[in-house]
Amino acid sequence: MYNLFKSGMLIILMTLLMIFIGGAVGGRDGALIFFFISMVFNVFSYLFSDKIVIAMYRAKRADPSQYRELYSMLEDLSNRAELPKIPDLYIVPMDVPNAFATGRSPKKAVVAVTTGLLNTLRKDEIAAVIAHELGHIKHWDMLIQTIVASMASAIMWMSYIARWGAIFGGGRSSDDDNGGALGMIFVAIIAPLAATLVQLGVSRSREYMADDYSAKIIGSGEPLVSALMALHGESRYHRESEEISPATAHMFIFPSGFGGGLMKLFSTHPSLEERIKNLRK
**Run of H or E residues at 9:** helix 2-26
Q: How far apart are CA 149 and CA 131, in angstroms?
A: 25
Residue in 266, 264, 232, 269 with CA at minimum distance from that of residue 96: 232
Sign of CA dihedral 181, 183, 184, 185: positive
Residue in 227, 215, 275, 272 with CA at minimum distance from that of residue 120: 227
Instruction: Pinpoint the alpha helices (H) of 109-221.
Output: 115-120, 123-138, 141-169, 175-218
> 111 - beta bridge partners?
89, 101
Q: How far apart are CA 107 and CA 105, in angstroms?
A: 5
Out of 69, 125, 133, 222, the active site residue is 133
**Helix 175-218 vs helix 123-138: angle between axes, to the nearest 10 degrees?**
130
For 113, which DSSP code? E
Residue in 88, 86, 87, 92 with CA at minimum distance from that of residue 60: 92
Reply yes or no on whether 133 is catalytic: yes
How do 60-61 and 88-92 pair as beta strands?
antiparallel
Instruction: Pinpoint the alpha helices (H) of 27-122.
Output: 30-56, 68-80, 115-120
**Residues carrying an active site annotation:** 133
